[in-house]
Structure 1
Amino acid sequence: MEILLAEDGLHPQKRSNMILPMFRSPFAVALWVVALTSPLQAMRADAFACTQSEVSLTYVRYEFAVQKDAQGVPVMDWKRFRQAPERVVTRPRRAVILENAYLKATLIPSMGRVHSLIHPGSGREQLWINPVAIPLGANNDTGFWMTWGGIEHVMPSREHGTSHALKWDGHIVTDTSQEKRVRMQTVEPLTGLKHQIDYAIRPKDPFLHAHIQVSNPHPHPVRFSHWTTSTLAPGGGRQVSPRTELVVPAKAFVPDERDFNDWMPPLVGPTETSPLKWVGQWKSIGDLMATPLLQGFYGVYAHERREGLLRVFPLDKTPGFDIWGWGYPPTEARMREFTRAIPSMGYIELWNGNVHGFSEEALTTIAPGRTLSWTESLKVVSELELPLMESMAHHLP
């Protein structure tokens, strides 16, 4: 079964079927409001659902300063943005919720994003969701990046590419007793590459699976990169905690060659013993890489709540790895770079990609008429034993 989501995220017939009954009685209206606004409800062990819903995004208004260039890339006019009074707005976005006994994932198909990931056992959020998002300058062809939080998939080059700013089409392609699957797709304007992400769950599977496809419809090769960017704050605190541990199956951390990383070298070393594996040891902003990954996964675990995330990916398809942090605690000036909800400890941002690094030289090539595909999977983990590296490995599919 395939359900096409309209511009507001709902199939027109589904929308009318939902709206007409909702005003039949005040009690029905009350139930509708509760369904949209109440916190996570207790989930049955056999819960398995795909539900159309709505989320509210609060952010500093920026759309007026973004225009498409001749190639169709949304580009920020920073002069226009800064000349206007800053105004915070809240806008609804249609969403799709995938849930089973192990996870509750909220997707925003029109943005190609995972907005939320909740552990049903505790009711805690594992991603970072910005209470008041803002645009910040970025080294890409759009000139900006919105600090929404959550998880995104970006192409075709540099940091966050253009995908973060594009409009995506969304479909519910499978809604059966065996699988729930949502498809998000767009065409990257600079390369013309077709970009498709299918998010899927199964009833007795603890992983949220992202089935990724990149297709080249051209008669010539195209150079590109693909990164999955995850802004994380596991444990339900809505911001990253100091005893959040980074679990990276590599021999050693390696600071990127950037001036602001000058505080890092004394702290680098083996990934299992380096102080940099603790978010609370990040003295300032930093961009941290590692020697080649030995296994295709990483973990982020908040010891304060004994909860975290495990991300699994095929190492032969996505060997690239990077970590970004704002320092702990970030200064107020740094906080104001990523949010208007002050104070905020922010998030830790992990990347996995099909190339090493963000330079033009690092780009890979997709042949004419070819489609590249792979699957990345995400799982909430809790109550792990030490050492975490071994515990995380036991949870691999």
Structure 2
Amino acid sequence: MATTVRRVPLTLPAAPLGPDNPLPALRAPDGVHDLDERSREGLPRDMARQIGYEPLRSLLPVQIRDGYGRRRVEREFEAVVIDNGRLRATVLPGLGGRIHSLVHLPTGRELLYRNPVFQPANFALNGAWFSGGIEWNIGATGHTALSCAPLHAALVPAPDGAVMVRLWEWERLRDLPFQVDLWLPEDSDFLYVGVRVRNPHERPAAVYWWSNTAVPEDSGTRVLAPAEEAWHFGYERALRRIPVPRWEDADRTYPLDSTYPADFFYEVEPGAAARPWIAALDADGHGLAQASTGLLRGRKLFVWGAGPGGRRWQEWLTEPGTGGYAEIQAGLARTQLEHVRLDAGAEFSWLEAYGPLSADPAAVHGADWAAARAAAGAALDAALPPGTLDAAHEAWRRASADADPDGGPGEWLARGSGWGALEVLRGGFDLPGTPFPEAVLEEAQEPWLALWRTGAHPAPQRVVPPGPSLVAPHWRDMLETAPADPLTEYHLGVAQWHAGDTAQAVRSWERGLALAPSRWPLLRCLAVADALAGDPERAADRYAEAFEDLAAQSRGGEAWTAAESALGREAMTALLAAGRPAGARAVWDRLRPALREQGRFRLLAARLLAAEGHVGAARRVFEDGFEPADLREGEETLSEVWSTVSAAPLPPSYDFRMRPPA
């Protein structure tokens, strides 16, 4: 059967994504995956060097996505289905290009963990992320900021003359374009994925890539890879080399044999470097295999574990009664704590393959680890002979990687953002195969297009929350020479802050305050600067003033509600940290009633009541039940607040702990 591609609607129970957080992300990422300098001692030199290479100062220019909720209703998503009669892949261009489903048609087996709902949670670098399928993680350590964002998608010729789906975007954390090409060769049981990341700049760039596959998990699931050792990284933030498969009296290749969530980064044997692979097989020896050309060297197993925290997270990400999952991943480095240098004008490219694998269950589940992985490796060699991927990669690079999508933007399968078009227009980049035409520019890019063309950042016609800031050196240079009105000073300060020039950023924000029609955006930036400088009292003062100014100006509409929600949470948190519950109460009293009912504010209400000495009332907030939609991966706020209001064990519904007790 010839490969076909069609657009179809996919209906899922879905929580709303809501608006982006309008406050610039000035703080560094939360550090859940950080490894300090002392912990790097004794690591292989290349690993230690890449762990310390170009960590993110902040998430700028990306905005935080925390406007989502947990009330799900039926919603239709645009999906693209690729089918060759052997495999059927369902792709979601509007959600990071996620492969939602991969079905082996002769057996009817779903090879992935297919989430039956769309439920965002706070796992992406910038917040909203959802579980299931195959995701493409680019940018920096963690789930990509594009997890819930649209990508451009179009049809292009595949290397064999058939059709394939191209996904592409401009990744803004590292300022790099990338593409993901998906095709099914005729009669193939494997989906081919060609990936390219390019650096069009005159400076090197730090690159991060991990392809993340969610696979069904039960007590019989085993993950196999050509490795005898792995690097274990848990939420205690320690990286240690351990044997595979058994460690601390348990076989860690069975996801449910771990208690707490953890990463296992396999030391893939050098002899397997030509085609690294990983597979997840069930009790009967059936499952999914992922293999690639040698550049994508890393392989990882992520487990939620069998403990209450991991189980609770799995329920949180889907719906009760749904089976659990583990993740098998493939990356550019040995661990996800590393970033890899990409030289100016250079590119990385590789080919991946995903498909069904069946092996002798007695062998793959046997006590002899060498025999188990040899059985899986031999089954993979039979299904996907050695040399196949290298040849397919060469054919793709030669015949298809640079092929431009047919037609204009109106004829593409899907549109991404306009940020790439802005950067290509400004930089004059030539990127065959991944066009970013002016036709895809949107309202968010208009003031920056005007700055580039006229030298001035236009002031809004009415008082509204400021739009997103750009922070790359070329935009910072333009802001420095633009007329110094309050909005320009605000954006300039954000760009200077991102560059590490915090003193100059503070001066820019203070200059902008004098004539600003809205003082709260500048006051909030100064409050963050005060807090990070170790002055919680001054930070609390500025937060209180900022929220009072916002409350006085706030209007109806989604943008203003998002601003109140974001600033209200930050202000109350800062005031409570400074030991000023009366100030936090004043912020609470000015919040919109609808905001006070949200889970994130119910948790703040419990903290406020406890700080005011109303411990019983704070405990009743927990007893009445609430769901903080934006609970962060690894966050222990729920257990910490509960311990201040009750001596009883933490109720199971609030137990999201991802590490052993300290």
Whether the TM-score (by the shorter chain) exceeds 0.5 is: yes
- 1:261-290 CA-to-partner distances (Å, cap 9, x unmatched) read 99x99xx63338961112332323222222
Q: Hey, which of these two has a bigger chunk of helix by percent?
A: 2
Matches of 2:226 and 2:246, distance apart in 1: 8
1:163 counterpart SS class: coil
Q: How does 1:298-313 map to 2 (within 5 A)?
A: 298-304=278-284, 306-313=285-292
Mark the CA change 1:57 to 1:329 in structure 2 (over 3 Å): closer, same or farther: farther
Question: 1:178–1:202: 8 Å Cα contact kept in structure 2?
Answer: no
Q: Which amino acid aligns with 1:165?
A: C
Q: How does 1:30-179 map to 2 (within 5 A)?
A: 46=1, 48-66=3-21, 69=24, 71-77=60-66, 86-111=70-95, 112-138=97-123, 140=125, 142=126, 144-174=127-157, 178-179=161-162
Gaps of 5+ in 1: 1-45, 234-239
Offset at 1:148? 3.6
Mark the CA change 1:181 to 1:106 in structure 2 (over 3 Å): closer, same or farther: same
Question: 1:102–1:380: 8 Å Cα contact kept in structure 2?
Answer: no
Mark the CA change 1:91 to 1:188 in structure 2 (over 3 Å): closer, same or farther: same
Offset at 1:329? 7.1
Report the identity percentage: 22
Q: Which amino acid aligns with 1:120?
A: L
1:209 to 192, 209, 212: 192
Question: 2:103–2:111: 8 Å Cα contact kept in structure 1?
Answer: yes
Question: 1:243–1:303: 8 Å Cα contact kept in structure 2?
Answer: yes
| Residue 645 of structure 2: aligned partner | none
2:64 counterpart SS class: strand
1:138 counterpart SS class: strand
1:259 to 231, 236, 241: 236
Matches of 2:151 and 2:356, distance apart in 1: 27
Matches of 2:308 and 2:292, distance apart in 1: 30
Offset at 1:59? 2.7
* Residue 168 of structure 2 corresponds to residue 185 of structure 1: yes
* Residue 254 of structure 2 corresponds to residue 278 of structure 1: yes
Question: 1:301–1:309: 8 Å Cα contact kept in structure 2?
Answer: yes
1:252 counterpart SS class: strand
* Larger RCO: 1 or 2 (CA < 8 Å, sep 6+): 1
Matches of 1:53 and 1:230, distance apart in 2: 23
| Residue 325 of structure 1: aligned partner | 303
Offset at 1:189? 1.2
- 1:88-139 CA-to-partner distances (Å, cap 9, x unmatched) read 1332222221122431111122331211001112212111122233333337
Q: Hey, which of these two has a bigger chunk of strand by percent?
A: 1
Mark the CA change 1:345 to 1:269 in structure 2 (over 3 Å): closer, same or farther: farther
- 1:309-363 CA-to-partner distances (Å, cap 9, x unmatched) read 1100123x12223221112375653334422x1133421112211123333xx21
| Residue 17 of structure 1: aligned partner | none
Question: 1:58–1:133: 8 Å Cα contact kept in structure 2?
Answer: yes
Q: How does 1:237-248 map to 2 (within 5 A)?
A: 240-248=217-225
Question: 1:247–1:271: 8 Å Cα contact kept in structure 2?
Answer: no
Offset at 1:192? 1.8
| Residue 373 of structure 2: aligned partner | 389
2:243 counterpart SS class: coil
Question: 1:299–1:309: 8 Å Cα contact kept in structure 2?
Answer: yes
| Residue 38 of structure 1: aligned partner | none
Question: 1:67–1:76: 8 Å Cα contact kept in structure 2?
Answer: no
Question: 1:154–1:160: 8 Å Cα contact kept in structure 2?
Answer: yes
Give the superposed CA RMSD. Answer: 2.9
Question: 1:139–1:158: 8 Å Cα contact kept in structure 2?
Answer: no
Gaps of 5+ in 2: 26-59, 365-371, 386-662
TM (norm. structure 1) is 0.75
1:291 counterpart SS class: strand
* Residue 316 of structure 2 corresponds to residue 349 of structure 1: no
- Stretches of 4+ moved more than 6 A in 1? none
1:251 counterpart SS class: strand
| Residue 227 of structure 1: aligned partner | 210
Q: Which amino acid aligns with 2:228?
A: K
Offset at 1:65? 4.8
Mark the CA change 1:179 to 1:75 in structure 2 (over 3 Å): closer, same or farther: same
2:252 counterpart SS class: helix
Q: How many residues align?
A: 331
| Residue 440 of structure 2: aligned partner | none
Q: Which amino acid aligns with 1:252?
A: E
Question: 2:113–2:132: 8 Å Cα contact kept in structure 1?
Answer: yes
| Residue 236 of structure 1: aligned partner | none
Matches of 1:303 and 1:261, distance apart in 2: 32
- 1:173-196 CA-to-partner distances (Å, cap 9, x unmatched) read 137985331000000112220110
Mark the CA change 1:336 to 1:270 in structure 2 (over 3 Å): closer, same or farther: closer
Offset at 1:372? 1.5
1:277 counterpart SS class: coil
Question: 1:50–1:175: 8 Å Cα contact kept in structure 2?
Answer: no
Q: How does 1:5-44 map to 2 (within 5 A)?
A: none
| Residue 353 of structure 2: aligned partner | 377
1:172 counterpart SS class: strand
Q: Which amino acid aligns with 1:363?
A: H
Matches of 2:93 and 2:352, distance apart in 1: 18
